[in-house]
Copies of this chain bind each other. A is one copy, B any other.
Amino acid sequence: MNDRRSIRRYKKEEISQELLDELFTKAFRASNTGNMQAYSVIVTRDMEMKKKLAPLHFNQRMITEAPVVLTFCADFHRFSKWCEASDAEPCYDNFLSFFAGATDALLAAQTFAVAAEQAGLGLCYLGTTNYNAAEIAEVLQLPELVLPITTITVGYPDEMPAQSDRLPLNAIVHHEVYDDKQDIKALYAAKEALPENHAFVHENNKQTLAQVFTDIRYNRATNETCSEKLLAAIKAAKFFK
Chain A residues in contact with chain B, CB under 8 A?
Answer: 1-2, 4, 6, 21, 24-26, 28-31, 33-37, 39-46, 49, 77-79, 81-83, 85-92, 94-97, 99-100, 102-103, 106-107, 109-111, 113-115, 124-125, 127, 130-131, 140-143, 146, 149-150, 164-167, 169, 171-178, 180, 182, 184-185, 187-188, 207-211, 213-215, 217-220, 223-224, 226-227, 230-231, 241
Q: Do B25 and A4 have beta carbons less than 8 Å apart?
A: no
In the complex, A45→B177 CA distance in Å? 11
In the complex, A172→B37 CA distance in Å? 8
Copy tally for this chain in the complex stands at: 2
Q: Which of B24, B34, B177 contacts A169 (CB 8 A)?
A: B24
Q: Do A214 and B90 have beta carbons less than 8 Å apart?
A: yes
Q: Give the Cβ gap from A46 to chain B, nearest Cβ, in Å.
A: 5
Given A169-B24, A231-B95, do A127 and B100 touch, yes or no (CB 8 Å)?
A: yes
In the complex, A213→B109 CA distance in Å? 25
In the complex, A125→B104 CA distance in Å? 11
Q: Give the Cβ gap from A196 to chain B, nearest Cβ, in Å.
A: 11
Name the B residues within 8 Å of A140 (CB-CB). 174, 177-178
